[in-house]
Structure 1
Amino acid sequence: MRDSPTKKKLVNARLLSPVARRTYTRVTRELRSMVRILHKYGQHQAAIARRFQIDKEVIARILKGKTKAAARDTGDDWQFVDDEFRKQYPPLETEAAKQQTARPQTSAKENLGTGMLVRTVSVRPATNARRMTLRDTDASRSRGRGETNIPTSMRSEPQQQEKNQTRHDAPLQRDRSSRNRAILIDMRNTSQPEIRLLPPQSPNLREFLATLEHDLTGMIDALVRQDLGSSEKLFALAQWPSEELHKLFKEAIPDLTVAQRFMLVRGLKKSATVELLE
């Protein structure tokens, strides 16, 4: 049966339509790479489809990796395009950085683990050595001149406890002695001032002067200058007659008032009496 003239016209119209005349491009590895590169440069799928005369749905499937060929694509897309296209669309900085960091990823992890191990081994002895140095420094400050430096490993436990107690008490003793000392600087020597430390006062002397009828601790420096800066030296004068003590303190410490001088003499006599009774 022959086709009718109307049907022949419809067939001819379909053949002459733009869809029928479209030439389909073969989707190669190079073309898929160019599609992805153009998409990374911000071109829309419709523009890419018009450029390569490919259906927009095919472009979308290539970008999403839903075709078998696109799913198998590995490596750098810029390696599969020609030089002219590469010059027009050079590799992006983010892509280059991603490729550079992706290659040594496994070795970097291994090196990181090794580096951490090396740092741990190298730092701990240094920290221990620093602690030992600080411990030895504190111990040497708290020791007297006649003490011998004994290694920590050779000390017995009671000695170590006693040394630790001395180390904790040493800063308080140093602070007390330094606070009670008076410093004299000779300003006449312009080249280098001479610093002379007066002998420290005994804590008992400060206690004794503070417990009198009036607090006479302000006279400690004057007593130190007269070589009476300790309770032993001052109490040694308690056996003197009261008249002699009055004369001594009047000449040695002229800043003392008459009442303060009587208080000091009476306190010395009272302390001497208490010591004799004890």
Structure 2
Amino acid sequence: MDTQRHAGRTVLVTGGGSGIGRATALRFADEGAAGVVIVDRLQDRLDAVAAELSQRGTKVGTVCCDLYEISDADRAVHEAGEHFGRIDVVISNAAAWTAESFLDMKDESWLKVIGVNLTAGYVIGQRAARAMVASGRGGAIQYTASISSLGGSPMFSHYNAAKAGLANLVKTMSLELVGYGIRVNAVSPGPTDTQQSVDVVGLELMDKWRREGFPVAPMGRLGSAEDMAAAHSFLASDDASYVTGVNLVVDGGLTAHAYSVPES
């Protein structure tokens, strides 16, 4: 690990209180970020991760809010800028979901999941981009999308649609912002060992996959939050200075498999 990879940079991470967001915030701190602002809806999670960041010698800011509200998403970016005077890297990672069939889905579920996963991404990206343009320094804006952006999965039509929207938003943003020195990319995780995955499938099945491997992915295991953090770190680094408009799939080869010829 290069402890100076992000030296001097300030970073905003939404959904930073757990899972991929937490791992990403810690990764940037370990790689020299001067300051990290984490956003989450639960204050106890923010406090715990803030303590971890502080132990690494990184300046820390926290914003407790529910990104479903546009005003809160706007506030998150504003307060992040106030903490350190600028934002160099934005990781829009917060997510919401429910498991409901398309026929039975409640309107409020659709609105909530689209609001947190897609609308908040638009607000955070736009406000951060405006600040970066005003500073003249450029920057990197990144999203945690999902392999759900690439296809369907029953019970998650709202989540899939939101993530597909994010992946496409990245492409248009990258084209409009490239002239300002702003790169825009996404990371699309496959099945990952996080609390959200436990909530979806249950602890018993998750423990089985942890012990015995995850047979659906060609690599035979679940992704880790640290795998996704590494991808975000790369895309925000100078090593990716010629990369923009990309949806980087990190899924152990899962979506590479179209089909296998039946043995009989």
TM, length-normalised to structure 2: 0.16
Which gives a bigger RCO, structure 1 or 2 (Cα 8 Å, sep 6+)? 2
Structure with the higher helix share, 1 or 2: 1
